[in-house]
Structure 1
């Protein structure tokens, strides 16, 4: 069984309905997690911490899909926070 790594990252967006970051150099990388459940907990903590900033959003990227050449790559999951 392969590892199912997930990256949690976020920052301030140019538009709260979009996915373009205002300053790519300021993207906050929360970390890489060994499973979706731990990535979701980290995402949720950051989303709750920044709840008063409508322009700030965090995402979970499924890294395992990028490195698993056997499976079709799908879109990155974006969760509003």
Structure 2
């Protein structure tokens, strides 16, 4: 039985890698992408993103991103 008061999952993917250029989002090596994980909400994804971004702060070409997977899975759903 599911609890109707349970918060809806809004999945977010956190990943990163080294960019070819600071002007774009083309990665140097797709096989070297760091898949941090999939998180059930934006708040937990943001915590993971900040942690990884802080660890790589000395490498200007290393970037991490948050992808709103729930928008891809349910595009007709109003965004939260």
Q: Considering the TM-score relative to the shorter chain, is it more than 0.5?
A: yes
Q: What is residue 67 of structure 1 aligned with on the other side?
A: 73
Q: What is residue 9 of structure 1 aligned with on the other side?
A: 15
Aligned pairs (5 A) from 1:1-80: 2-71=8-77
Supply the distance in 1 between the matched residues of 2:14 and 2:25 (Cα, whole angstroms).
14
Q: How many residues align?
A: 73
Using the size of structure 2 for normalisation, the TM-score is 0.83
Supply the distance in 2 between the matched residues of 1:17 and 1:39 (Cα, whole angstroms).
24
Q: Secondary structure at the match of 1:32?
A: strand
Please identify, of 61-70 and 31-40, the stretch whose mean Cα deviation from structure 2 is larger. 61-70
Please identify, of 62-71 and 37-46, the stretch whose mean Cα deviation from structure 2 is larger. 62-71
Cα offset for 1:44? 0.3
Q: Which runs of 4+ in 1 moved over 6 A?
A: none
Supply the distance in 2 between the matched residues of 1:2 and 1:37 (Cα, whole angstroms).
13
Q: Which has the larger radius of gyration?
A: 2
- Structure 1, unmatched stretches of 5+, are 74-81
